[in-house]
Structure 1
Amino acid sequence: MHRPMEGVRVLEVAQFTFVPAAGAVLADWGADVIKIEHAERGDGQRGLSRVLGLAVGDGSSFLPIMEGPNRGKRSVGLALEKPSARKVLDELIRSSDVFLTNFLPEARAKLRIEVEDVRAVNPDIIYVRGSGFGPNGPESNKGGYDATAFWARGGSAAGVTPPGSERMMRMPAGAYGDSIGGITIAGGIAAALYARQVTGEPSVVDVSLLGVGAWATQYTVNQALMRGGPLPPRELPRHGSPTNPLIGAYQTADGRWLEFSMLQPGRYWPEFCRLAGRADLATDERFADVEKIMANAAEAARIVAGIIGRRPYAEWVEILSRGEGQWATVQNSWEVGQDRSLRTNGLIAQVVDAEGKPRELVANPVQFDQTPVTLTRAPQFAEHTDEVLREIGLSDEEMLQLKIDGAAT
């Protein structure tokens, strides 16, 4: 199968997850992604992974916090602030289709990697910036993480924190907004490559974590805009929804959760009652038709909660699987990794680490021609410096001099 980004070269000057995750997706799709890491410090996430104690613990170099957003790339150790590194950078820019960065404006100006600097070398390159708060306005030079720009500012934190709560709800996973933002950037790059092919004009692509956060919460933000003010607090019932007992989460006898989303109560109430061994409830005068189910939803939901709470999780999974109504198990991270539909569709992919041991990673959710992606591991720090420098025509003597200068490693 021809991967759609084969033949595209991406030059990535970025670190952590938000923008590097875009590079990983493009690598999954076949692009040659060259990751520039500082010749001494590398990507800051390499150090962060150890500070946070996220190593596998078996002596392996495999660090999921690095592997996820960096699989499939080649790493070049280059100190861009060194004058002698400029020739190397310019040659890489000249041979690339996309320049990808999340450096702040001040750092970009200092390193001479702003749009005009890069376009002076390669006028046809697509220039891509990931930021916290966008390229314009008073916060354009302000750094942001997904916890701040995406989760807090973008509306998700307020959306999941119950009224009167003594603590704000946190993101459900590390790099949550970063990962969503990364695949958003990858989509923008794909559109820009298509536009360049059609019009001959390269684009400047901007994606902010705040913008991604607002997009993710657009359902409620759009309602607030129409209303002309904040939405009133929603006091949801403990079980079900105000008009439908077959929406919401229910707890099983062994403390697990099931999420119901049967949006047509008139259609699915009789089926649920039959599966639950309570066919009598389908003809109960209180729930005899859709209008009565909606009018008596609170009472019906209490009954459903009692029914679900009398049997264990595994039993309910088997029972509910016999019906057509929409529901799902509430899975932890391990269970997500074992999910049969993810595995059947190749969305949990094998990768071989630097020590030759097979590992697994979540694949990006986009597939082409129903073909699962083939992953290769993330690069070790500066692993491909010599290989890439030779590709752009540097001699061994020139490479040695760069290393003596501290410009490459």
Structure 2
Amino acid sequence: MSGLLQGIRIVELASWTYVPSAGAALSDWGAEVVKIEDTRGGDPCRYLTIGGLDPAQSRVDANFMMELGNHGKRSIGVDIKSERGRDILRRLIERADVFLTNWLPAALERADLSVERIREFNPNVIVARGSGQGSRGPERDRGGFDAASYLARGAVAYALTPPDAEYPVTQTPAFGDLQGGITLAGGIAAALFHRATTGHAPVVDSSLLSQGVWAMAPDIAAADYYGIDRIPVGNAGTAPNPAVNRYRTRDGRWIQLVFLQADRYWKGFCERIGRPDMATDERFVPLANLVANKETATAELRHTFAERDLADWQKILADEPGVWATLASPKEVLSDPQVVANGYLMTVTDAAGREYRTAAAPVQFDETPPPPRRAPEYGEHTEDILLELGFDWDAIIAAKEAGAVL
């Protein structure tokens, strides 16, 4: 089943990708999510362009970043600064189980949307907040994006950059946002369970900084335990254990080996790749010797893998019991048999009937992927939602004429 949260209503006042992606995950799990957008253009993510990509060259009429963070939702365009708009917001919150937002504390206070004020509308609503740096501390009201709050400040870039690199590692769009969003969604699910069992509706907080700290927890813990600034790493292409490293094939592709128990797999692996000599070489067995002679072993494996193309190695290693994988391109993931079999991508259709794919939330229930649904158009469901809230057409028309709704 994919409708585990069926009957749960979520009001989302959030933009960009981090917090909206939490709403998308909850929608995948069955919740009804109403996305509130302003009347001056809506979520700025709708107009985001990614460097090197010309929207005019897309084969479908869809914004892939909006789809990731907003599929399955309904959108209402409201000016919550107006009297009519605040009444609409109040009515939405009165019916909601969760109020989800990425507005910072000071902005919520200015909008008269403190936790206490929201609880006046609905004492049982769960308030869930996602921020850059957290809800407390001197930078609680400082904005954040994942490249800064997660990648930079969370020590992700520092810990993952090889010491011989000229520049620190960077990230693809929403790299930390999507990880943070699924974490926030999990926190909301826990809060819903807590409310169901105790009657108490907690405030849920998460941040991009906290997600970075969680992602880099081993490095941060080691820094404390050993008084070091990072776990020691070699230059790019090296590894303490040659059986846990990446190797380039003849055609320029890469294979990742992850033989954490190298002694268990080493002999069969070496025979499989046509290097039985390495299986009995005392320099490479047992594991302690392999690590002690890692430069020599790595050089031998580099030479061996460079003799064949990736397709050849995929056939040779097909029955390898040790863990390994091809470094896949994003385009290859679209047709990965495991991705397809497990429904990790949902296929949606645009207005012209052209199909496109977007990622679903990475958690399923009873082995059932969520139903494919697109992201809403800007304010697409404004009138439907107002009718559900009890507004008649005269009131809706008046609100439109006053600029309170789209």
TM-score range, shorter chain: over 0.9
Q: Does 1:375 align with 2:372?
A: yes
* Displacement after TM superposition at 1:334 (Å): 0.9
* Displacement after TM superposition at 1:317 (Å): 1.0
Residue equivalent to 2:96: 96
Residue equivalent to 1:221: 220
Residue equivalent to 2:264: 267
SS of alignment partner, residue 136 of structure 1: coil
TM-score for both structures, normalised by structure 1: 0.95
Q: How do residues 383-398 of structure 1 correspond to structure 2 at under 5 angstroms?
A: 383-398=380-395
* Displacement after TM superposition at 1:189 (Å): 0.3
SS of alignment partner, residue 127 of structure 2: strand
Question: Taking every aligned residue pair, what percent have the same amino acid on both sides?
Answer: 41
Q: Does 1:297 align with 2:305?
A: no
| Gapped regions of structure 1 (runs ≥ 5) | none
| Equivalent residues, number | 406
TM-score for both structures, normalised by structure 2: 0.95
Matches of 2:9 and 2:68 in 1, distance apart? 20
Residue equivalent to 1:280: 277
Matches of 2:361 and 2:168 in 1, distance apart? 29
Q: Closer, same or farther in 2 for the Cα pair 1:221/1:55, shift >3 Å?
A: same
Q: Which letter maps to 2:312?
A: E
SS of alignment partner, residue 48 of structure 2: helix
* Displacement after TM superposition at 1:2 (Å): 5.9
* Displacement after TM superposition at 1:357 (Å): 2.4
SS of alignment partner, residue 383 of structure 1: coil
* Displacement after TM superposition at 1:277 (Å): 1.5
Matches of 2:208 and 2:125 in 1, distance apart? 23
Q: How do residues 76-95 of structure 1 correspond to structure 2 at under 5 angstroms?
A: 76-95=76-95
1:104-131 C-alpha deviation (Å, 9 max, x unpaired) = 2232122222211211110000001111
SS of alignment partner, residue 286 of structure 1: coil
Q: Contact 1:161–1:169 at 8 Å: present in 2 too?
A: yes
Q: Contact 1:75–1:379 at 8 Å: present in 2 too?
A: yes
Residue equivalent to 2:149: 149
Q: Which moved more, 1:364-373 or 1:229-238?
A: 229-238
Q: Closer, same or farther in 2 for the Cα pair 1:135/1:86, shift >3 Å?
A: same
Specify which of 319, 322, 341 is matched with residue 344 of structure 1.
341
Residue equivalent to 2:190: 191
Q: Closer, same or farther in 2 for the Cα pair 1:177/1:56, shift >3 Å?
A: farther
Matches of 1:196 and 1:81 in 2, distance apart? 30
Residue equivalent to 1:5: 5
SS of alignment partner, residue 283 of structure 2: helix
Q: Does 1:45 align with 2:45?
A: yes
Q: Does 1:68 align with 2:65?
A: no
Q: Closer, same or farther in 2 for the Cα pair 1:89/1:405, shift >3 Å?
A: same
Matches of 2:126 and 2:149 in 1, distance apart? 25
1:92-147 C-alpha deviation (Å, 9 max, x unpaired) = 01000000000122321222222112111100000011111111111001000000
Alignment RMSD (CA, Å): 1.8
Residue equivalent to 2:208: 209
SS of alignment partner, residue 325 of structure 2: strand
Q: Closer, same or farther in 2 for the Cα pair 1:404/1:237, shift >3 Å?
A: closer
Q: Does 1:319 align with 2:316?
A: yes
* Displacement after TM superposition at 1:387 (Å): 0.3
Matches of 2:231 and 2:203 in 1, distance apart? 39
Q: Which moved more, 1:354-363 or 1:387-396?
A: 354-363
Q: Contact 1:337–1:362 at 8 Å: present in 2 too?
A: no
Residue equivalent to 2:306: 309
Q: Closer, same or farther in 2 for the Cα pair 1:288/1:154, shift >3 Å?
A: closer
Q: Which moved more, 1:178-187 or 1:297-306?
A: 297-306
Q: Which moved more, 1:23-32 or 1:56-65?
A: 56-65
* Displacement after TM superposition at 1:325 (Å): 1.2
Q: Which moved more, 1:225-234 or 1:12-21?
A: 225-234
Q: Contact 1:55–1:62 at 8 Å: present in 2 too?
A: no
Matches of 2:117 and 2:55 in 1, distance apart? 38
Q: Which moved more, 1:8-17 or 1:81-90?
A: 81-90
* Displacement after TM superposition at 1:288 (Å): 4.8
